[in-house]
Amino acid sequence: MFLDNLLPSGLAILAAPQALLRRVTNPQKVSFGLLANLYAMRRRGEIIGIDSIWDVGANEGQFAFMAHAVWPELPIYSFEPDPNCFEKLNSTFKQFSIPGQTFPCALGSENGMKSLIRYARNVNNSFLQRIDNDQEAQDSVQVQCTTLDEVSNEIQLGASPFLKLDVQGFELGVLAGAVDFLARCRYVQIEVSFASSYCSGAHADEVMRFMREHGFQCVEILDLLRNVRKGTRDITEADLLFRNLKWSGRR
């Protein structure tokens, strides 16, 4: 949890009992820091007015599970191209009665088939090659890719969706195919990288610049990951929350 610089971890856990319960009962589906902050932001009225959740890079349904815990009334649209992960994603939706729909495809800047590189830890799957040698690719699979603008036109899209991206360095590709969709989004959550993990992967400052140019402001750090090897505590990844400035009247 990103409060680890300010609070002992035990105090942070005690401050978020709902997230702790979900973590204990479903440890493989819960990132404690992220879920605790989502709960807190809804409780404080800092994430409001959303009518659907769009989960891009769904993996096995971890974010869908957490989002459903916080917003059980909202439909969730989850996208996952890896056939093995997609099967588990569907199981998550069925097991926890998550409303919405799952899609067995990737999202990017154009339609077509793309080669998805699969790693031993499937959360690292990406269209990009990893830089570190300790995460060797297992194989690759051809997957269908479309754009968020196109697929959202086929669904009865609400007035103010919440978009989440976790696509392992391919953030700018997805965003390039979602310009019209972004104009309707109230909030966007993006996992960004501060240290290069993938060849030609987007850096945090590139993603933040894109979002700023399209009318969004970064308003919160929802979670982060540090590199604690070799005595360092450098930030490597973070989940950033962006708000569309048209909803706050500031541009």
Instruction: Check: CB of residue 63 under 8 Å from CB of residue 164.
Output: yes
Question: Among 76, 52, 80, 51, which Cα is nearest to 66's?
Answer: 76
Are 93 and 103 contacting, i.e. CB atoms less than 8 angstroms apart? no
pLDDT digits (tens, 9 = 90+) for 62-107: 999 999 999 999 999 999 999 999 999 999 999 999 999 999 999 9
What is the extent of the structural domain holding 133? Answer: 2-247
Q: Which phi and psi angles does 142 have, rounded to 5°? A: -80, 130
The amino acid occupying position 14 is L
User: What does pTM read for this prediction?
Assistant: 0.91
pLDDT of 178-237, one tens digit each?
999 999 999 999 999 998 889 999 999 999 999 999 999 999 999 988 877 766 778 889
* pLDDT reported for residue 17: 82
One-letter amino acid of 100: G
Distance CA 249, CA 251 (A): 7
pLDDT of residue 1: 40
DSSP-derived letter for residue 123 is: G
Predicted local distance difference test score (pLDDT) of residue 197: 86
Per the structure, the count of domains in the chain is 1
According to the model, what pLDDT value does residue 153 have? 86
Residue 115 belongs to domain with CATH number: 3.40.50.150
Buried (b) or exposed (e) across 203-222, using 16+ Cβ within 10 A? bbeebbebbeebbbebebeb
Give just the sign of the alpha carbon dihedral 158, 104, 115, 65: positive
Cα-based distances in Å from 242 to 21, 191, 202? 27, 11, 17
Least confident range from 2-6, 15-19, 141-145, 237-241: namely: 2-6
Would you give the DSSP letter of residue 27? T
Distance CA 79, CA 103 (A): 5
Using CA of residue 80, residue 82, residue 85, residue 88, what is the dihedral sign?
A: positive
